[in-house]
Each structure stands twice: as C-alpha cells, then as structure tokens.
Homo-oligomer: A and B are copies of this chain.
Amino acid sequence: MEENPIRAEEMLTPAELAARLSDQHVADVAEALNRQPPEVAAATLALLPRERAVEVLDDPELDNGAELIEALPLDYAISLVTAMSADRQADTLRDLEPEVRERFLDRLDPETRTSLKQLLAYPENTAGSLMTTEYVSALPTWTAAETLDHIRSVERTRETIYAIYIVDPRTRKLMRAISLRRLIVSDPNATVLSIAVKRKPVSVTPLTDREEVARLISKYDLLAVPVLDRAGHILGIVTVDDIIDAVVAEGTEDVQKFGGTEALDEPYMEIGFGTMVRKRAGWLCVLFVSEMLTTTAMQHFDDELQKAIVLALFIPLIMSSGGNSGSQATSLLIRALALGEVRISDWWRVAARELPMGITLGAILGVIALVRVSVWQYVGFYDYGAQWPLVALTVAISLVGIVTFGSVAGSLLPFALKRVGFDPASASAPFIATLVDVSGLVIYFSIASVILGGRLL
C-alpha cells in the first residue's frame, strides 16, 4: 500500500502543522484541519495569522468550524467570527450548541447580530439559509466607470463581484442585474441601467429549495442569483460555489435516502457508531415490521403451501423481480421529479407509460421463467411434479402481474410522497421492494389458486 501523507501529519504539533500549512491553498488547510482532532485543529488555527484563520473558517471545505470556534478563547473566537462572511457566520453558528450560540450573538455588534439572526431563522436547504448578504449593488444612474470604482472600493467585503444588482434609489427594489463581464466591455460613460440586459432578473425567494436554486443557476448559467422578499427587495444572493456544494450534497442525500438510510450529513468515516446505528436502524425496523406482512400473507396461504411445496421454490424469484422493477421505476421518477422533467400533474402520463412497460418487462421475464422450468424438467435437474406445465404458467403469469405492479407502483410512489409533502427520494429501493413483496405474494397465490385450483391446490 502507498505511503500515506496523512499518517505523518498526525505526529505533528500544532506549531509544526501551522508552519507546514502556511503557504498552502486555504481549501487544503481546511482539509488538513478536518483530519485533526478538534483540540489540535483549534490550536493550529490559533497559530495562523488572524486573516488566514478567517479565510480558513470562511472556507466551506472546513467541516467542524463550530467545534474549532468553541475550543478557542472567547474573545479571539468572536474577533474571528466577526470578520467572517455572513453566510459562513450563519453556517458556523447554526452548528453551535444553542446556549453557546446565544453567548456569541450577544457579543457581536448589533447590526451583525440582527442580520445573522435573520439568516439563522431560515430553514435548512433553502435559499435563505445558503445566501450571503454581501453582494454589490449599484444605482441606476451610475456610469459603468463609477460602478467599477465602487466595486474596487467594496471588493474586499463582498462574496462575489461578478454580478452587480441595480437597485431603485427610492423604493430600494431590485431593477436589473448586470454581470461584471458586461460592465467591463461597455462604454465607461454609459449608465449601468442602459447597459444592463432589459429583462427582469431571475430571482428566488428565501424559502426556495436549494434544488430549485441549482436548477435556475444551471439553466441560466448564472454566477449568483438574488434572493428577494415579497416586495422585491434584495435580501441576499446565493453564489454558484455554494450551489455546487449544495448540488453535490443533494445528490448524496438522494442516493442515501434511496438506499434506505436517513441522510448522513457527515462523511461516512467521521460519523459515530451510535449515530450510524440510529440513522440506519430506524428505516430498517420500519421496513422489517412492514415486511412481516409477508409472513402474515404466507400464513394465510399455508394450506396451499402444504399441498404444493413446489410453489415456495419460486417465491424469492418472483418477489425480487417485483422489487427490482419497482426500484428501477422509482429511481427514474425520483430524478425526473428532482430535475423538473415531470410535474406532479403528470402522474397519469407516467402511469400510462409504466403500465405497458411493466407488461413488456414482465412478459420477457415470464418467457425466461417458462424456458427455465421446462429445461430443468426435461433435462431432469429437478422434478416440479406432474402438473409442471401449470406451475410454469403460474410463475410466468405472476411475473407479468408483479412486474407490472412493481413498475406502476414504483413510478407513482415518488409522486404520492411529493404530494403529501415528503422528499420523493424517500421512496427508497427497500421501501418499494417491501411494498411490492407483500402485494407480490398475494398476486402469486391468487394466480396459483386460479390456475392450479382443483389440481394441485
């Protein structure tokens, strides 16, 4: 195995570590601190130049900013937090214990405190919780040259200067947005209003979900999107770099939820054993208890099973095929809904597609099953009994029924969840498999009693 540079780092004192990190990219410093125990990381942070320490705390790569802040002397911690960007201040304070957070807020200057409290009030994963209040605004009458001068003077305190927002001097409402690119190439003496694109800027509300913010930023190739209140005043902006992190996090959450775990919100290796058990056991138990219905269903059919034990042989095969087709349909629709390719009102169009799709897929599997049973019977690998052609037919027809049920139910489940206000991604593969398992057994035994009734049963 290759030599691992992390190992060596673990031996260093905070002073050595601080020296080693002095000329590295801030994201790499953040990553190095992530790998250290909080006390060592905090001690290292304290040894970095103050401005550098603020940069590190400002970097979204840093996982445990709140812990570091708590471990530092209060006065120094407050001076660092005060210098941080507004959105990262909020992110960091959000992770603090409530009583520590209050102590911090009390020590900040009133203006910062008010704006921070407002940011902290927005629910997680909304535009409000992602936005920063540090954007560049301009008045419509300013010339391009004046606006550039203004940008130069405020640059240090702004998260991005690539999007400039033109605000009505009287109502303070957003009028237009203009990119730095356009500003640079325009006549320096023209007013910003005259050179801005004559179109209402794309905007979101503080409660817009991060997925929708990402969709807009991606669709319109924006570097930032303004967050407006009802009246049209800018509350802040969400920048593209925050949104990339959000999109990646959203993808992770979708996969984790679809896999049947609660979203972890932390790297796999860093999460504690107890937390991990909680995040996984919850769903596992719910699914287990629901899946117990299969036992109940089978108890109901135990007479049939006694008479035709051959039916039991195909139960896992049939059930898993229903689960698999359901899992396929669910995953396709989860993403189609997430990307806005289909809307809730399209549910019947989806059902109309999945019905023939399920029948086709089920028929393909049914034919394979027919071939398999016939071959095994002819070659003599196994004797399915005198009624084997009827047994094969039962299996094949059940497959059509169950795969069709799986496809239709799997495709509609995300719609149903979205309709009642849940994340469609909660329609996990295990969830849909469980749903289909129980119904699958009932379908299988019902078809068996029709086809084999009076013969085997």
A residues contacting B by CB (< 8 A) are: 1-2, 23, 25, 27, 31, 59-61, 148, 151-152, 155, 161-162, 180-181, 184-185, 199, 202, 214, 217-221, 223, 240-241, 243-245, 247-248, 250-252, 254-256, 258-261, 264, 267-269, 273, 276-277, 280-281, 283-285, 287-289, 291-292, 294-295, 298-299, 302, 305-306, 309, 312-317, 319-321, 323-325, 327-328, 330-336, 338-339, 341-342, 345-346, 349-350, 353, 356-357, 360-361, 364-365, 368-369, 372, 382, 403, 425, 428-430, 433-434, 437, 441
Contacts and interface: CB of A to CB of B under 8 A. Distances in A.
A259 B332 contact: yes
| Chain copies in the assembled complex | 2
Name which of A217, A288, A341, A437 has the most chain B CB atoms within 10 A of its CB: A288
Contact of A289 (B268, B276, B368): B368
A324 B256 contact: no
B339 A185 contact: no
B261 A245 contact: no
A251 B305 CA distance: 44
Contacts of A330: 259
A357 B218 CA distance: 39
Contacts of A336: 267-269
Contacts of A346: 269
Contacts of A269: 336, 341-342, 346, 349
A316 B161 CA distance: 59
A25 B277 CA distance: 49
A361 B281 contact: yes
10 closest residue pairs by CB, A with B: A259-B331, A251-B251, A429-B429, A294-B316, A268-B336, A324-B430, A267-B341, A221-B241, A218-B244, A252-B335
Nearest to A321: B288
Contact of A365 (B23, B288, B334, B361): B288
Contacts of A184: 148, 151-152, 155, 161, 180, 184
B162 A181 contact: yes
Given A27-B219, A259-B429, A268-B350, 12 more contacts: A25-B220, A151-B185, A155-B181, A162-B162, A247-B251, A251-B254, A267-B339, A268-B336, A269-B341, A284-B364, A291-B320, A299-B382
Name which of A152, A255, A364 has the most chain B CB atoms within 10 A of its CB: A255
B320 A433 contact: yes
A284 B328 contact: yes
A202 B268 CA distance: 26
Contacts of A277: 357, 360-361
A264 B248 CA distance: 20
Given A219-B27, A221-B241, A241-B221, A273 B332 contact: no
Contacts of A251: 247-248, 250-251, 254-255, 335
A433 B333 CA distance: 21
A406 B199 CA distance: 55
A349 to B, nearest CB: 7
Name which of A60, A284, A339, A372 has the most chain B CB atoms within 10 A of its CB: A284
Given A220-B27, A260-B328, A345-B1, A441 B291 contact: no
Contacts of A365: 284-285, 288
